[in-house]
């Protein structure tokens, strides 16, 4: 009888532990308890970008698509087109009817590894701290603009590459998009 109770007790604890942990693949990329500002709407992005000094060093979660990436001595500077943050952090940000004028810069400090090699069009989610604004070119023929500047803590990248973002074909017709998560040193 005692062995049965002991066995059931151990199995119950194991079941409780399994029930309280998130299974692989469904884990949230960034924990919600950090109090990060999640930027889901264009009005939220506009507020953050226009008043970045008010949000200095505040944790924020942004989504976007890579426009360009420049290696630096410390890591990378990534020009990114803003996209709405998805409902769940394990979902790839979707390109919708957003206006293409919203951009921001990501500073990712880390070893210069081939694994971080990103191409134009790759989509990403990031968590980082607002560092203010920085002047950058958004397009070759335009003037430099003050863009929201974020020091990335972690970046989740979907390798969508140069694919046409406005494709009308369903994602289910293609193999799953490769993804990876990188965190700064």
pLDDT value of position 54: 96
pLDDT of residue 113: 57
Count of residues in the chain: 185
Query: Would you state the pLDDT for residue 97?
Result: 64
The token pair that represents 23 in the structure block? 């299974």
Between CA 78 and CA 184 the distance in angstroms is 14
Residues of the chain with pLDDT under 70: 1-34, 97-99, 111-118, 162-176
Output the pLDDT for position 98: 62
Tokens of 30: 């960034």
Beta bridge partners of 182: 155
SS3 94: coil
The DSSP secondary structure of the chain, one letter per residue, reads -HHHHHHHHHHHHHHHHHHHSPPTT-S-SS-GGG-PEE--SHHHHHHHHHTGGGGTT-EEEEEEEEEEEEE-SSEEEEEEEEEPPPSSTTSPPPP-S--TT-EEEEEEES---GGG---TT-EEEEEEEEEEEEEE-SSTTSPPEEEEEEEEEEEEEE--TT--TT--S-GGGSPPPPEEEEE--
Q: What is the pLDDT of residue 177?
A: 73
- What local confidence, expressed as pLDDT, does residue 115 receive? 52
Helices and strands in the chain, H and E counts: 2, 7
């Amino acid at each position: 009888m005692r062995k049965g109770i002991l066995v059931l007790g151990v199995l119950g604890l194991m079941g409780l532990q399994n029930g309280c942990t998130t299974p692989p693949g469904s884990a949230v990329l960034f924990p919600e308890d950090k109090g990060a500002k999640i930027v889901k709407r264009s009005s939220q992005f506009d507020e953050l970008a226009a008043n970045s000094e008010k949000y200095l060093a505040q944790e924020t979660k942004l989504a976007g698509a890579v426009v360009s990436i420049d290696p630096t001595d410390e890591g990378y500077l990534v020009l990114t087109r803003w996209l709405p943050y998805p409902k769940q952090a394990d979902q790839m940000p979707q390109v919708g009817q957003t206006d293409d004028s919203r951009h921001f810069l990501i500073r990712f400090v880390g070893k210069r590894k081939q694994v971080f090699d990103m191409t134009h069009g790759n989509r990403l989610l990031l968590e980082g701290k607002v560092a203010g604004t920085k002047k950058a070119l958004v397009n070759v023929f335009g003037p430099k603009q003050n863009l929201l500047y974020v020091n990335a803590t972690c970046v989740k990248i979907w390798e969508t590459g140069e694919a046409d973002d406005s494709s009308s074909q369903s994602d289910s017709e293609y193999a799953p998009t490769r993804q990876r998560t990188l965190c700064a040193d």
